[in-house]
């Protein structure tokens, strides 16, 4: 082995070498970051035709939203009290779920299909946003095309201690409510029978997994998560588009 250079690099050379090493390190790290971004960046929208119907944002102020709901009820055919709940969930989602882009129209589509906006069984929403008569789905006992889901909440929400049942105007099963339940009206209670609460919980559920409902593939995936049926997705979409078009033709 040859002897080491007794002089070594000068201070200037030493600084130059350090700077070169630093630049190389930045380039390597930068390339690595770019690679991560490239891998995680989402591709093009595979189903743009399913993108959430475009509507103007609902007012931020609660009193203005109430006026909006009163004016939109006639054209859409959606009860005013239901629109208050859907619009409130959209407004809340702007802060909590800003990247999701949730619109009241999607919730209106779901609400129409799930319970006719809280009117299933000839009941109706009261002033607090609750059906006058509780809305309960059938026992999820594995028959009639339903999954079998054994009781998960001791009957606390659905009154059934053998099997779970879907609860309320947006038909949450107790185990899903346990994950996404919300207090949409700020009364200190999280209740799936309250459409204000259920609408915000539905927003959380639809927006899970970093979905952006303005993308067709994400919107379809979100509604499929609610019910694994393409026919269901298409029906919700028809209702959502109809409501949105009635307000923003």
* DSSP labels, 59-90: PSSHHHHHHHHHHHHHHH---HHHHHHHHHHH
pLDDT surpassing 50 at residue 103: yes
Cα–Cα nearest to 204, from 227, 231, 184, 224:
184
pLDDT digits (tens, 9 = 90+) for 58-99: 999 999 999 999 999 999 999 999 999 999 999 999 999 999
Cα–Cα nearest to 183, from 107, 90, 92, 64:
92
Burial degree of 3 (CB within 10 A; 0-12, 13-18, 19+): exposed
pLDDT of residue 42: 76
pLDDT of residue 145: 87
Q: Which two tokens stand for residue 93?
A: 């989602």
Distance CA 67, CA 148 (A): 43
pLDDT tier, 118 (very low <50, low <70, confident <90, very high otherwise): very high
The HSE-up count of residue 79 (CA atoms within 13 Å, CB side) is: 21
Cα–Cα nearest to 78, from 197, 229, 243:
243
pLDDT tier, 238 (very low <50, low <70, confident <90, very high otherwise): very high
pLDDT of residue 14: 37
Phi, psi of 239 (to 5 degrees): -70, -40
């Amino acid at each position: 082995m040859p002897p080491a250079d007794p002089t070594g690099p000068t201070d200037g050379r030493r600084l130059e070498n350090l700077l070169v090493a630093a630049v190389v390190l930045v380039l390597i790290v930068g390339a690595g970051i770019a690679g991560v971004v490239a891998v995680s960046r989402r591709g093009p929208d595979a189903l743009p035709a399913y993108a959430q119907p475009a509507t103007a944002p609902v007012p931020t102020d609660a009193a203005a939203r109430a006026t909006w709901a009163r004016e939109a009820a006639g054209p859409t055919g959606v009860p005013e009290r239901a629109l208050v709940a859907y619009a409130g969930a959209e407004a809340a989602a702007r802060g909590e779920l800003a990247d999701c882009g949730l619109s009241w129209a999607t919730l209106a589509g779901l609400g129409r299909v799930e319970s006719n906006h809280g009117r299933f069984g000839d009941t109706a929403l009261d002033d607090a946003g609750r059906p006058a008569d509780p809305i309960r789905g059938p026992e999820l006992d594995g028959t009639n095309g339903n999954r079998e889901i054994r009781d998960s909440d001791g009957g606390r929400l659905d009154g059934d201690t053998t099997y779970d049942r879907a609860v309320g105007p947006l038909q949450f099963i107790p185990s899903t409510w346990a994950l996404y339940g919300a207090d949409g009206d700020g009364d200190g209670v999280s209740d799936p029978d309250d459409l204000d609460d259920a609408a915000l919980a539905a927003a959380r559920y639809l927006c899970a997994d970093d979905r952006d409902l303005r993308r067709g593939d994400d919107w379809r995936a979100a509604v499929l998560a609610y019910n694994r049926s393409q026919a269901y997705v298409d029906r919700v979409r028809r209702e959502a588009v109809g409501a949105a078009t009635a307000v923003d033709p």
